């Protein structure tokens, strides 16, 4: 029986820039930062209240996962905002929205009351988008 999820991957264009976004802007905590060769490192972060879920910030580079062609295709797709990777929750969406906006995070939807709760949408530095939610 599958009991829990420990790691989830988000493909990023540049790990250094992704580190700044997820750690310095979103306030996530680094779980693992291990060297994996000249073009990549194993970099995982977690939301502060959820240390047992590691979000792996995987670079889109030729080698371990991608060929040269698929890496190029993937980079284009990520940049163009094709992928929505999930939903982050927060205790107070208005305060979180104002704080992230002040830090330069790009929102495509300001907090809005929906039938399922209050929701906003933002993009990371690569182009991946996420929903930001506050439950009713």
Partner 1 sequence: MNEELYPKVYLYRRIVQSKLFIDANFSENIDLDCISEQASFSKFHFIRIFKKIYGKAPHKYLSYVRLEKAKELLKEDISVTEVCFAVGFDSLSSFTGLFKRSVGQTPLAYQLQQHHLKAETARAPLKFIPNCYAGRKNKSK
Residues of this chain that bind partner 1 (CB under 8 A)? 6-7, 32-37, 42, 56, 63-65, 91-92, 94-95, 98-99, 102, 107-112
Q: Which is nearer to partner 1, 32 or 70 (CB)?
A: 32
3-state secondary structure of 26: coil
**Please, what is the minimum distance in Å from the beta carbon of residue 75 to partner 1?**
19
CA separation for the pair 21, 126 (Å, rounded)? 9
CB atoms within 10 A of CB 20: 12
**Please, what is the minimum distance in Å from the beta carbon of residue 12 to partner 1?**
15
Q: Which is nearer to partner 1, 64 or 87 (CB)?
A: 64
Buried/exposed code over 1-17 (b: 16+ C-beta within 10 A; e: otherwise): eeeeeeeeebbbbebee
Q: What is the residue whose two structure tokens read 């820039």?
A: 17
Q: Which is nearer to partner 1, 87 or 95 (CB)?
A: 95
Q: Which is nearer to partner 1, 32 or 50 (CB)?
A: 32
**Please, what is the minimum distance in Å from the beta carbon of residue 99 to partner 1?**
5
Residue 31: half-sphere exposure toward Cβ, Cα within 13 Å: 19
């Amino acid at each position: 029986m599958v009991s829990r999820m420990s790691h989830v991957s988000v493909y990023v264009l540049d790990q250094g820039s992704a580190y700044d976004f997820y750690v310095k802007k979103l306030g996530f905590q680094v779980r693992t930062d291990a060297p994996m060769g000249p073009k990549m490192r194993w970099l995982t972060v977690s939301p502060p209240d959820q240390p047992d879920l590691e979000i792996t910030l995987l670079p889109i580079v030729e080698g371990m996962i991608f060929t040269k062609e698929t890496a190029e295709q993937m980079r284009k797709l990520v940049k163009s905002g094709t992928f929505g990777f999930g939903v982050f929750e927060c205790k107070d969406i208005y305060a979180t929205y104002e704080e992230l906006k002040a830090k330069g995070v790009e929102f495509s939807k300001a907090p809005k009351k929906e039938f399922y709760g209050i929701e906003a949408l933002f993009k990371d530095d690569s182009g991946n988008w996420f929903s930001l939610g506050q439950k009713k």
